[in-house]
């Protein structure tokens, strides 16, 4: 997410651009905005863009980042941005290539933007389907779905996301010029790197150094040798006395302690103090009061069931109701999102006066792509999971409509409401097909993945628009990236998570939430502990109240309103995760107070590097370990 300085810089009236670079325009100064963009910003026919090296570099980086994001999705319930990390890594890698092979030319800024588009498509649009929906299904059924199902399911939903981003782009970027803050940040990053900015170069190398250090930390924490044990110390192991509270030995409670994970600390730096403090407060309340009370009341048999059997329901309720409430409160945004469905007559306010159909994606491409993919999705839903064709049709139709909402939400707030998209489908399917847990879960995965992929990929199309890229070529790069991502994510999924026990070991918060919602909607709540039912009610009301409060209070008060997302996550993830998040957020806060300018430059790249480095190393170790076990057997 971009900071205020980056956004204000890019929003200025365009002045002289750096030599050889296009000018970045957010608010056009000419009434005929598209004509101004085409005349003064567009560079797509003059500068190399869709080259083989750009697509290969982006696809390979995106494939690696998709594996990293799969790990973070399982570990902490989040998938982090790919675009800026890919830009920086590409910049550093290409410098190394040019150092070794002197006759290799530098990539143009539009080649790097094309590379970023392929990387984002590979990294964003594949892992959510695999890690969430199929992860929850693995927990429910106890066995994996065959790759012949997982692969086409992932490909079809990812490609639909890419195709649906195109009509959204024309309305929300060309016409309305929505912010898409992360897109602005990525464009600014590329502009700075290509201008050989000293600060940008330092940012790039700080990300790479943080990535390397985090990779070493991840390697140390996952090893079994004596010299690796120092990095594996947990809080109870270094305290010389028992930690006992309300007749519970906390050191015996799974997840209580401190895990020296740079991934988690980096994630806390990225999400900020408000969310991280809410996570810590909620986790302290669970481990030091509500958990011991549930044990004493016999609602759970032992501490191992604290999160998985009891707290999960309250945490899920907080996040589901808060997400749906926040979406409902943005009803104006929802209504505006449907403006893409109507054509504004030329000459009216906000209209596109000039239609550059020679560089935009042709409508016939969308028809040729979307209709067969939609039919294929409906057929696959029926063949793989016996989802009735009319429910499959409703699911795909909802995907189109909710993609409009998700794209606008991302454009205006930089937050993609993926969870809310899935829950709307789950609620709809629960009415149409009650007590069908697999139908409920997998139908929701279609909607959530298509809608979130479209929204996230629009961020890259925003970068391309600011840099003067050819949108048709950028679309082809995004389309290509899907296949790189799928080629990496499918084998990585089966190797990283060979069975249900391996998935349980992650204690995956988002997967558990998807499973819990599908279970509650499809099978009822009769088997849920009574106190957990009360927790669901209270948590649901709390999620609604916090979302309303966050919307209604002034900006000066908002930082002190607890985060519903943070509180909800604190009850579906271990205490050690919440503590590490908080430590990371405190580091970022202290850093910014000591030197705000220095923090603005380095917090995001250092944190992004930490997340990418450790998650990738841990994913590789998990894959190698699983592959070795398979070879041994």
Of the listed ranges 75-89, 218-232, 382-396, 427-441, the one predicted with least confidence: 218-232
Instruction: Report the DSSP beta bridge partners of residue 244.
Output: 249
Mean pLDDT across 381-400: 91
Task: Provide φ and ψ at 573, rounded to 5°.
Answer: -135, 160
| Whether 126 contacts 68, CB under 8 Å | no
Distance CA 463, CA 414 (A): 14
Distance CA 466, CA 43 (A): 10
Cα–chain center distance at 289 = 32
Cβ neighbours around 430 below 10 Å, total: 21
Residue 628 falls inside a structural domain: yes
Distance CA 560, CA 372 (A): 49
Structure tokens at 449: 């993945």
120 versus 423: the higher-pLDDT residue is: 120
DSSP-derived 3-state class of residue 352: coil
Q: What is the pLDDT of residue 226?
A: 42
Of the listed ranges 214-223, 548-557, 569-578, the one predicted with least confidence: 214-223
Helix 262-271 vs helix 52-76: crossing angle, to nearest 10: 100
Structure tokens at 109: 């800024």
Q: Tell whether the model's pLDDT for residue 25 goes beyond 60.
A: no
Cβ neighbours around 73 below 10 Å, total: 24
- What Å distances lie between residue 498 and 129, 138, 493, 541, CA to CA? 17, 10, 8, 38
Q: What is the pLDDT of residue 249?
A: 63
Q: Tell whether the model's pLDDT for residue 83 goes beyond 90.
A: no
- What Å distances lie between residue 489 and 139, 263, 287, CA to CA? 19, 20, 35
Q: Tell whether the model's pLDDT for residue 615 goes beyond 50.
A: yes
Instruction: Report the DSSP beta bridge partners of residue 249.
Output: 244
Residue 494 falls inside a structural domain: no
Contacts of 193 (CB under 8 A, 6+ apart): 87, 88, 91, 112, 200, 201, 204
Q: Tell whether the model's pLDDT for residue 438 goes beyond 70.
A: yes
Distance CA 363, CA 226 (A): 62
Residue 422 falls inside a structural domain: no
| Whether 524 contacts 184, CB under 8 Å | no
Mean pLDDT across 522-538: 82
- What Å distances lie between residue 210 and 205, 218, 222, CA to CA? 8, 12, 18
Mean pLDDT across 25-36: 55
* pLDDT classification of 633: cutoffs 50, 70, 90: low
Residue 302 falls inside a structural domain: yes
| Whether 281 contacts 563, CB under 8 Å | no
Residue 240 falls inside a structural domain: yes
Pick from 173, 242, 246: nearest CA to 466:
173
Q: What is the pLDDT of residue 183?
A: 83
CB-count exposure of residue 105 (10 Å: 0-12, 13-18, 19+): exposed
pLDDT digits (tens, 9 = 90+) for 174-221: 877 777 878 888 888 888 888 777 888 888 889 889 999 998 888 877
Residue 450 falls inside a structural domain: no
pLDDT digits (tens, 9 = 90+) for 446-465: 888 888 888 878 888 888 88
Mean pLDDT of the chain: 80
Q: Tell whether the model's pLDDT for residue 494 goes beyond 90.
A: yes
Mean pLDDT across 341-367: 62
Structure tokens at 526: 């009769």
Distance CA 278, CA 568 (A): 9
Cβ neighbours around 352 below 10 Å, total: 17
Q: What letter would DSSP give residue 15?
A: -
Mean pLDDT across 314-334: 77
- What Å distances lie between residue 527 and 44, 324, 523, CA to CA? 59, 25, 9
- As for how many domains the chain has, the answer is 1
Structural domain of 532: 228-319+527-537+552-632
Mean pLDDT across 423-441: 84
Q: Tell whether the model's pLDDT for residue 13 goes beyond 90.
A: no
Q: What is the pLDDT of residue 455?
A: 81
CB-count exposure of residue 44 (10 Å: 0-12, 13-18, 19+): buried
Residue 334 falls inside a structural domain: no
Handedness of CA 276, 508, 210, 258 (dihedral sign): positive
- What Å distances lie between residue 469 and 20, 47, 173, 360, 477, CA to CA? 14, 9, 13, 11, 12
Distance CA 30, CA 195 (A): 26
* Exposure string over 106-120, b if 16+ CB within 10 A, otherwise e: ebbbbbbbbbbbbbb
Mean pLDDT across 419-435: 79
Distance CA 74, CA 319 (A): 17
Residue 206 falls inside a structural domain: no
* pLDDT classification of 33: cutoffs 50, 70, 90: low
609 versus 33: the higher-pLDDT residue is: 609
Mean pLDDT across 343-356: 46
Q: What is the pLDDT of residue 523?
A: 75
């Amino acid at each position: 997410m971009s900071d205020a300085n980056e956004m204000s810089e890019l929003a200025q009236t365009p002045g002289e651009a750096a030599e050889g670079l296009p000018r970045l325009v957010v608010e056009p100064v000419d009434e005929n905005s598209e004509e101004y963009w085409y005349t003064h910003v567009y560079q797509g026919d003059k500068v190399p863009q869709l080259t083989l090296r750009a697509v290969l570099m982006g696809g390979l980086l995106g494939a690696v980042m998709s594996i990293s994001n799969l790990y973070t999705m399982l570990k902490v319930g989040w998938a982090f941005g790919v675009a800026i990390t890919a830009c920086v890594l590409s910049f550093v890698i290409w410098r190394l290539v040019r150092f070794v092979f002197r006759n290799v030319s530098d990539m143009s800024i539009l080649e790097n933007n094309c590379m970023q588009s392929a990387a984002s498509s590979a990294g964003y649009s594949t892992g959510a389907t695999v890690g969430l929906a199929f992860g929850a299904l693995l927990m429910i059924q106890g066995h994996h779905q065959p790759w012949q199902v997982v692969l086409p399911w992932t490909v079809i939903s990812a490609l639909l996301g890419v195709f649906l981003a195109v009509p959204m782009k024309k309305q929300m970027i060309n016409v309305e010029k929505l912010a898409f803050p992360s897109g602005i940040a990525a464009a600014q990053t590329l502009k700075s790197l290509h201008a050989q900015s000293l600060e940008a170069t330092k940012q790039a190398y700080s990300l790479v150094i943080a990535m390397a250090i985090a990779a070493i930390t991840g390697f140390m924490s996952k090893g079994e040798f004596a010299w690796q044990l120092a990095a594996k110390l947990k809080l109870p192991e270094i305290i010389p006395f028992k930690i006992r509270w309300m007749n519970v030995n906390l050191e015996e409670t799974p997840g209580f302690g401190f895990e020296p994970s740079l991934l988690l600390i980096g994630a806390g730096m990225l999400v900020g103090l408000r969310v991280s403090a809410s996570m810590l407060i909620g986790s302290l309340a669970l481990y030091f009061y509500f958990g011991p009370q549930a044990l004493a009341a016999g609602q759970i048999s032992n501490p191992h069931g604290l999160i998985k059997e009891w707290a999960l329901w309250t945490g899920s309720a907080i996040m589901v109701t808060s997400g749906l409430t926040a979406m409902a409160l943005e009803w104006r945004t929802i209504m505006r999102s449907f403006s893409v469905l109507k054509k504004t007559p030329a000459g009216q306010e906000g209209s596109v006066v000039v239609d550059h159909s020679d560089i935009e994606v042709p409508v016939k491409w969308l028809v040729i792509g979307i209709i067969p993919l939609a039919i294929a999705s409906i057929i696959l839903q029926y063949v793989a999971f016996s989802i009735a064709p009319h429910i499959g049709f409703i699911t795909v139709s909802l995907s189109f409509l909710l993609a409009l909402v998700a794209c606008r939400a991302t454009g205006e707030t930089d937050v993609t409401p993926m969870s809310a998209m899935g829950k709307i489908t789950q609620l709809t399917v629960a009415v149409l097909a009650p007590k069908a847990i697999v139908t409920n879960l997998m139908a929701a995965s279609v909607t959530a993945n298509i809608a979130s992929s479209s929204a996230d990929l629009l961020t890259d199309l925003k970068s391309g628009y600011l840099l003067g890229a050819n949108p048709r070529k950028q679309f082809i790069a995004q389309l290509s990236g899907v296949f790189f991502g799928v080629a990496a994510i499918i084998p990585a999924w089966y190797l990283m998570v060979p069975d249900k026990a391996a998935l349980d070991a992650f204690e995956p918060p988002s997967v558990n939430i998807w499973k819990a919602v599908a279970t509650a909607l499809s099978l009822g709540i009769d088997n849920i502990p009574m106190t957990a039912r009360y927790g669901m009610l209270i948590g649901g009301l709390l999620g609604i109240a916090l979302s309303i409060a966050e919307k209604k209070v002034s900006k000066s008060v908002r930082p002190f309103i607890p985060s519903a997302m943070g509180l909800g996550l604190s009850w579906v993830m271990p205490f050690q995760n919440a503590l590490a998040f908080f430590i990371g957020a405190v580091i970022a806060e202290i850093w910014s107070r000591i030197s705000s300018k220095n923090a603005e430059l380095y917090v995001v790249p250092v944190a992004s590097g930490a997340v990418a480095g450790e998650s990738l190393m841990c994913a590789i170790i998990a894959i190698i370990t699983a592959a070795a076990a398979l070879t041994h057997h």
